[in-house]
Structure 1
Amino acid sequence: MTREPAIDRSLGWFSVGLGMAELLAPRAVGRMIGVGDRSTVLRMCGVREIVSGVGLLSGRAPATFAMSRVVGDVMDLALLGASLRSPDSNPSRVAATATAVAGFAALDVYASKVELQSSMAEAQQDVPVHASLTINSPPEQVYAFWRKLENLPRFMSHLESVTEGPQQRSEWTARLPGGMQLRWQSEVVEDQPGRLMSWRTVAGSEINHVGSVRFEPGPGGQGTQVHVEIYYGMPGGPAAAKAAQLLAMAPESLVTEDLRRLKQLIETGEIATTQGQPTGKRSMIGRMFSAEES
């Protein structure tokens, strides 16, 4: 796939126009799309749209801003669904708006995939990721679990599959927002059983990074300190990584969460989930709508 600047420009101008309408006339927009008077929420959406649009029009880090539109589409659909709980909503208009958002989401997913595939492989490895965690298990056992690469999708939430091949190489598939996938090849460049493993992506992959994981005895010889160090190629570089932190999508946050799942998996044999448990606090989206209704 090659970049599609015309699509980026079109989506950019659309985002700016929609964002200005939401920011300057939120009540009119709310009535038009059937959600009623949700001025605060719509103004927040307007700011997000303007930022995404200006980013796309600037031509800098288009993959980052194209992805931000995908995330925004998911948020918009969730907001529309939450609005149906309000007596002020117009279900038929909300349904029509949701259909339109879904259509734009499909275009955003396409644009994002094109930009990601063409820019992630080219991005310099200038985004560092460092994460550490102590696991109550000997280093040899933690290493053995990690070294069997097919185990990684069990605790790395973004991975769909890892298939080991000959010559220390493996095939990786990751999933991204909007149902997109990234595929790449990695090769192990250093392997010290029970102590260290390092790797790098192979030329021609859709993602570009190098990394290592060290397994050291914990304090007093108890457990294992796992240290992960990765250098990513992210479109937009460190600036894009900072922006990702605002969406809780920063690579360092994701790796830290993966290590926590690994700890649960090794220590208890399973990863704790909230499925089937009583509902706790309402989501931020639900709280925003209920706050405006009061």
Structure 2
Amino acid sequence: MRGLGWASAAMGVPQVVAPAGFARALGVGDAFRHRSATAAVGVRELAAATGLLGRPHPVWLWGRVGGDLMDLTMLTRALRNHDGRGLGRTVAATAAVTAITATDVYAAVTRTRRSTPMELTAVTTVLQSPDEVYALWKDLERLPEFMAHLDEVRVTGPRTSHWRASAPFGRTVEWDAETTQDVPGQLIAWRSVDGADIDNSGEVRFVPAPGGRGTEIRVSLRYDLPGGAVGKAAARYFGEEPHQQLDDDLRRFKQVAEVGEVVRSEGAPGGKRARGEFPQHPARPLTAEELKEVLA
């Protein structure tokens, strides 16, 4: 926290002492409204520095996050209304503030002790028998083939395993899990053991689909999200939507069960590269800019 406190001080002093020069350096001009906004941001940075250097507490980190989002809003507005002079500097400043925001969110989430229980459910139907689907899921070391955020699952005993996964903001989390219920062809349930980076539990049920049309897979997950409700909102802001991730994981499992592999279009990446290029979020229409890129 102290490092971010010194960073706030270094950013705040020039904005308060020379707001006009700082505004020009950003490429937004030195009109009165720009000087006033720059000075206000500087005061806010100095207040955050005082808190982080004096009595460090996560609330000051969340204050930085809120300020970062305000800065991004102002810079985005400046980009829309830009006259072209100094545009490159404004673009560079926007990119820098985006990186700073990600750093601040990571620091705030990882240093906030509260956690919010997250419960997820999802259902899909696979054209295989319950016994076949159960056998595939039972092979835990294959789970990373269709669960995009899982890096590795290693079986360590008859009812135990070690898991490693990618988390929001570039983190990696690990935990040991134990199987609490195992009914062949019907149910697998598990929970993390003490010392897990993120406490979690879940179950998957294999139910014959109506009319003998395969198997319904019903997944329920529960885990504690670090950072409380604010951390959950911040994760979504940066493209981490847990419900969509689970739906996508089940869609890929269906492909593995029915086809033998995850079906990808030509040029569509997999693994960590896919996570980086295609962050998970609920389906939405393309914007005009995105449509232009697709048609280009």
Whether the 8 Å CA contact 2:200–2:221 is kept in 1: the answer is yes
Question: Is 1:196–2:192 an aligned residue pair?
Answer: no
User: 2:204 matched to 1:213?
Assistant: yes
Structure 2 residue aligned with 1:184: 175
Secondary structure in 2 matching 1:206: coil
Q: CA-to-partner distance for each residue in 1:94-135, whole Å, 9 max, x for gaps? A: 7864885587478548726843xx74xx736x3211111111
Cα separation, partners in 2 of 1:13 and 1:226, compared to 1, 3 Å? farther
- 1:276-291 alignment to 2 at 5 Å? 276=267, 286-287=289-290
CA contact 2:127–2:213 (8 Å) conserved in 1: yes
Task: Report the more deviating stretch, 249-258 or 140-149.
Answer: 249-258
Distance apart, 1:218 and its partner CA:
0.7
Given the alignment of the two structures, is residue 169 of structure 1 paired with residue 165 of structure 2, yes or no? no
Secondary structure at 2:218's aligned position in 1? strand
Judging changes above 3 Å, is the alpha-carbon distance between structure 1 residues 12 and 95 closer, same or farther for their aligned structure 2 residues?
A: closer
Paired with 2:129 and 2:250, the residues of 1 have a C-alpha distance of 16
- DSSP 3-state at the match of 2:137: helix
Q: Aligned pair 1:123/2:106, yes or no?
A: no
Amino acid at match of 1:209: N
Report how far residue 59 of structure 1 moved: 3.9
Superposition deviation, residue 283 in structure 1: 7.0
How far off its partner does 1:231 sit?
1.5
CA distance in 1, matches of 2:234, 2:87: 35
Q: Equivalent pairs: percent with the same residue?
A: 32
Gaps of 5+ in 2: 13-18, 30-43, 269-284
1:175, CA displacement in angstroms?
A: 1.3
Q: Decide whether the 8 Å contact of 2:168 with 2:240 is kept in 1.
A: no
* 2:107 equivalent to 1:111: yes
Change (3 A) 1:189 1:106: same
Which structure ranks higher in relative contact order (CA pairs < 8 Å, sequence separation ≥ 6)? 1
- Alignment root-mean-square deviation, CA: 4.9
Q: Secondary structure at the match of 2:147?
A: coil
- In 1, distance between residues paired with 2:237 and 2:97? 23
- After TM superposition, give the deviation of residue 203 of structure 1 in Å: 0.3
* Deviation of the 1:257 alpha carbon: 1.3
Q: Distance in 2 between matches of 1:109 and 1:134?
A: 37
Size of the aligned set, in residue pairs, is 238
Q: Is the 8 A contact 1:241 1:250 kept in 2?
A: no
Residue 151 of structure 1 aligns to a residue whose secondary structure is helix
What pairs up with 1:23-38 in 2 under 5 angstroms? 32-33=25-26
State the partner residue of 2:247. 256
Query: TM-score scaled by structure 2?
Result: 0.60
Bigger Rg, structure 1 or 2 = 2
Check 1:205–1:10 CA distance in 2 against 1; reply closer, same or farther (3 A cut). Answer: farther
SS in 2 for 1:267: helix
Of residues 152, 155, 161 in structure 1, which corresponds to 2:146?
A: 155
Distance (whole Å) between structure 2 residues aligned to residue 90 and residue 135 of structure 1: 56
| Structure 1: runs of 5 or more not aligned | 18-24, 37-49
Residue by residue, what CA displacement relative to the aligned partner does 1:191-236 show, whole Å, maximum 9, x if unpaired?
1111100000010110111110001111112111000111211235
Q: Distance in 2 between matches of 1:14 and 1:165?
A: 49
Structure 2 counterpart of 1:260, which letter?
Answer: R
2:235 & 2:250 partners in 1: Cα distance? Answer: 19
Distance 1:108 1:89 in 2: 30
Moved more, 149-158 or 230-239: 230-239
- SS of 1:253 mapped into structure 2: helix
1:133/1:226 contact within 8 Å kept: yes
Give 1:141's aligned residue: 132
